[in-house]
Each structure stands twice: as structure tokens, then as C-alpha cells.
Structure 1
Amino acid sequence: MTKSGGLIFFAGLLMTCSVCWGEQASASKERQLNQLQRQIKQVDADIGGLKREKERLLRQLQALEVQYGEVARTVKILQDNIGRQRKALQDIGRKMALTQKAIDGQKGELESQIRSAHAMGGRERLKVILNQQDPALSSRIMVYYDYLNKARLRKLEAVEKNYRALKQLEQQKRQETEALNTALRQRQREQSELQKVRSERETLLVQMERQYSTKKSQLERLKSNEKELQQLIAALQRRSSDTIFQGTPDKPFAQLKGRLPWPLKGRMVKKFGSRRSESRWDGVLINAKEGADIHAVTRGRVVYADWLRGYGLLTIIDHGKGYMTLYAFNQSLYKAEGDWVEAGEVIASVGSSGGRSHPALYFGIRRKGKPVDPLRWCRKIHKDRVG
């Protein structure tokens, strides 16, 4: 091979190797790109799966909290019925004691009359009849005898009447006792169901806590919840009509500024505008005992009574002229959409729905859809105690 031929061969070999190396590098980059695309798809699938799991957990939370509220409401109704039945039994017991006392008194009087008649004897009455010396005296004594006989008959009738009343009271007592025992057994069953639902909810909250463990996810959830509430308020505001409030004897909501009562007694733990994660509270948070009564602050019409993400069981009352009050995190709702409520009327009970861990009431006021500070509208508080 000549020198020039060797150079040509070597140059061709270099070009061939260069092409091979280029192809290998290109294939490597393509494999990396494919792997990256697969990873992206997997991440997208994981994010989609995570979102679906969060949605599933939220739906499950909604179902459990609605069920818990209904069972708690049933237990409260049973408690009220049991209280009334116990009072009825006490009233029956008092009536029975009074009736028995009356019977004993009437029996004593009757026995006294019988002894008097026995002391006079039947022959005395016969002597009077046969006594013709003083007809006027005989007549008066006969009248007296007739009076005693009629008095005894009246006493006997009264005793018999009270005995019948006593029997009726005894029958009523048996019925009330049976109804009370039935209510007690039902309450025990409902309380067992309540405990079961409570345990399921606590387990679910632990799962949700893992899903929303980062501050970023908590903030995203909070903002999403607030946005959903704003959209709901805006929709309700559009549907609101002041015509239904015309002609009512109550003062307009705007004239009650600074004088509205608080919806319950408790300690205010979050004020309007205070920090809430990376957001702000647009109402106040009042700690109270679970199951405590929540009252409407003034007259209005219920425009929403349902579960809402982030707020749990929520009641919204329209008071006309763009004013609404909100009561959230409830255990049970006692009023339905469309119901009219009066100032001070019980509308719900304190709970921890919406995924909360402690019972409290969120109370908010809206004016034409925008939040306003309840502290400016309700009565003054002392050392963060309301009510």
C-alpha cells in the first residue's frame, strides 16, 4: 500500500468510527429522552391518582360527617323525649300520691260517718219514726238521718271516682315506663352507631392528614375551599330577593349594627383578619362544647343548609338587603333550606365537621357577598368570651 493510499484508508476509518460514535450518542440521548418521558407520565399518573384519592377521601368525609350529624340529631331528639317522659312519670307519680291521699282522707271521713251511724243504732231511728209526741222533732231528725245517708253515698262515689282515676294513672305510668325503656334502648343503639361513625371519621382524618402533610397542599386546599364558599355566596346573592322581607315587623339588619347577639356562648379563639395558614380568617372562630345549641342572631330565611368542602355542615341565613350570616363546622343542622327562623331560634349544634379535630363554630357575616367583622356588628365581648 502506498503512503497516500494508507492516509486515505485511515481517513475513511476515522469517518466510519465518527459516524458510529454519533449514532451511539444519538441512540443514548433518545433512550434518555424516552426514559424521561416515561417518568413524566408516571409522575402525571401519580399526581392524577393522588388527586383522585383526595377527592375520594373528601367524599368519604362528607358522607361520614352527614351521617354523624343525622345520628347525633337523632340522639338529641331521643334525649329530649327521654327527658319529657321522665318528667311525665314524675308528674304521674305526684298525681298518684295526691289521689291516694284523697282516697285515704275520704275513707277516714266515711269510716267516721259509719261509726256515728252505728253509735246511733238502727233502733234509734225506729223509735223516732214511732214517736208521735213531737212530730216536728221527729221530722227534723228524719231529715238529719237522710242527710247522713246522702253524705255517705257522696263519699262512696268520690272514693270510687278516685280509685278509677288511680287505676288510670297506674295504666298511664306503665305505658310511659314502657315508652321510656324503649327510648333508652334506642338511644343506646344510636350512641353505639355514633361512636362507630366517630371512629371511622378519626381514621379517615389520619389518612387525609398524610395526604395534606405539606404547607403547600394545606394552603392550596384552604384557598380552594375559600373560593368555593365565595362562589356559593355569589350564587346565593344573585338569587336573593328583598321582596320577601318587606312588611316584616323586625328592624332591618343594617340597623342592628353593634347590637346583634352572638349565636352561642364560648371563647373566641380566632378573630376576623387573624392569620389562617397563609391566608386570613374572614369570620370568627368560637370554641364551644360539642352539641351545644347555635342560635340565629336575628330573623331571616335559610338559603343553604348542607355540607360544603372545608366548612362541613353549613347553614347560611339571608336577612335581606344583601346581608347574610354563616354558621359552619356544625355537628347537626336543625333547619332546612327555605325555613324561616326567628332571632334566638336554635338552628344547629356545635361540631367539628369539615375535617376539624376540635369542636368550634365558624361565624361570619356577609354584606353583598363581602366579609365584614362580626365584632363590629355583635355585642361587646369581655376577655374573648362571647354570649
Structure 2
Amino acid sequence: MNKKIAWICIIIITITSFNVFAATKSDEQKLKDTKKSKQNIQKALNENKKNQAKVNDNIEELGYKISNTQQKINKAQSDLNKAQSKIKSTSAEIGKLENEIGIKEDLLGERINVMYKTSDMSYIEVILSSKDMNELLSNLDMIKKIVKSDKELLTQLSHNKKEIEAKREVLKKKEKEIISLKSSIEVEKSRLVASKNKQTALKSDLQKDAKKLEANIDALNRYAKSLEAEILKKQSKGSYVGGEMGWPAPGYSRITSYFGYRIHPTLKTRKLHTGLDIGAPMGANIVAANDGKVISSGWLGGYGNAVMIDHGGGIVTLYGHNSKLLVKTGQTVKRGQSIAKAGSTGRSTGPHCHFEVRKNGKYVNPLPMLKSK
């Protein structure tokens, strides 16, 4: 985009250099070049606006994605907090069970020692401590039941501990997965933010470029107006009093293309044909249709070598595609005076005279103003 603007600026500088081109280009040609440059800049501006619209859509889409990603990060953090809280509570529960298991294991150990001590002394102590056989049996039976109960409780506690430890392992695994997921989402968010920042910077550059392009168009408009004013100064004042115009190509009366819309022979598109094409061989004499002053004599874009004559009252005639020009800008000419030689310069398919009449700058049909051939 910047390169394009640089080239456009070069075009503007080239066109607006009066001192360099004053000797070689007419005001009409400068105006034509200026309008062409304006079209090029307008085209670049339109492209700029389209790019701005695309960038705005990208920024909006990225903003939505960033918001959506942040919601995912928030959910992942919430899930992580819940998992960590559960891990903490299960760890406390496991600690409590381990403590209970430790106490039960100590008690069971003591009771097992009482119950299964291999020395005869242990049994003697139990017997001696009993008042009679019934009490002895009762004591032994009670110890057996307590030991059994302790074993069952210890088994249950161990089972519970294993279950909770399994849950804690699942939670820890889930915690790792959530941390990994959160990390990847945060990386994605960072990428989206970076992309949005780039798009925002691009939007800023496009806006700056658009301002430059608009300023260039304004400058060209001002320059075009100054050229139009210069052209109007050259035109004579008062009403057109010349009456019917003379035939511009004496001896050659065949009209090969009339004024109006047609399929252009080289562009192959429907275009307004702004004058009459009169069939004439290479080098045929082209004359002024009426008295007037030459306001342009030189190369005129698609018209090739062309002459423009001001006849007063806003009436200007144009003679295009000539092989040779016989008059100069500023020269006064008379009706029927030779001004050029027919040719095929500019955008042309063969030798002929392209004859136009403009009234106050607008194209009009030349036929009603021409004397019959």
C-alpha cells in the first residue's frame, strides 16, 4: 500500500510541475492527465476502503475469539480450583484415615500379643487373672471378639484409604490435564491478541494511507479546477456567431461512425462516440470548420495528434488522430484553413478524421452544426 501511494505521489508531482511541462503539454492534456491520475488514486482509495472493511471484520472476529478463549480460561481455572480443593480435602481425609489406622494397628498389635503370645506365661497370666473357668473363657472369648472386630475395622479403614487414594490420583491426573489445557488456551489467547494487535496496527496504517490518498485527490481537484480556469481564460467571450460550420475533411464525405453510443472498435465495450469519424486517407487535408483560435495543438492521449479550436460562445471543435499538425497553440485560423493531415495516431483502427464539437465543455452532435457535404 505504501509503495502504491509513493507512485501516486510521483504521478502528482509529475503532473503538477508547470515549469517542466509547460512547453510540451497543453492545459487540456494536463487536465486529462490530472483526471486520469485522480481516477488511479480513487481506485487505490476504494481498494483501501475495502481493505479497511476486511481488517475491521478481522478485528471483530478476533475480539470475539479472544473473549471466547478468555471464558475457556476462566472455566479451566474454576475447574482447576475445584480439583485442587478436592485434592486438598481428600488428602486431609486420607491423613485422618492413616491416623485411625495407626491407632487401630497399635491396639490390634497389643491384643494379638495377648492372644497369640507363644510363651506359656501369657496364658498363665490370663488364667491367674481369672477368678474361675467361666471368667477365663469369657475373657478369652472377649479378646477374640475384640481382635476380630479390630481386624474387620482395620480392613475397612484400609479399603477406604485405598479408595480415597485412588480418587486423589484421579484428581491429580485431572489437575495436570486442566493445567495443560489452561496453558494451551492461554497460548492461543496470546496468539489471538498478537493477531488482533497486528490487525489494529494495519487498520491504523490503512487509515493514514486513506487520508493521504484523500488529500492527494483534493490536491488534484484543486489543480484540475485551476486548469479548467486556464482553459476558460483562453476561450473567447461572447456568443457563437459563426453559423454553420464547414466540412473538416474536404473531398471526403463518408461518415464511418456517427455520434452516440457504439461498441468501441478497440476496447470492445459500449462507449459514447463523442464525435464523427470521417473516412480519409493518410495525409488527406484537414481544415478548420470555422474561424477561431487554436487553444491546443499536440498529443492528446487517445486522440493522438489533435487540434482544438475555440470559435467563441463556448463552442470548441476538435480534430483527432492526425499524422501531422500544421498549426500551433495560440494561432488564429480562418474557416477552411489547413490545420492538419489525416492519420491514425492515438487509439485508432485506421486513417480518418475524428471531428468533435463541444459546447461549454460538453459533447454535442456535430451534424446539426455542419454545412452539408
Normalised by the shorter chain, which TM-score bucket? Answer: 0.3 to 0.5
TM value normalised by structure 2: 0.44
Task: Please tell me whether Structure 1 or Structure 2 has the larger radius of gyration of its CA atoms.
Answer: 2
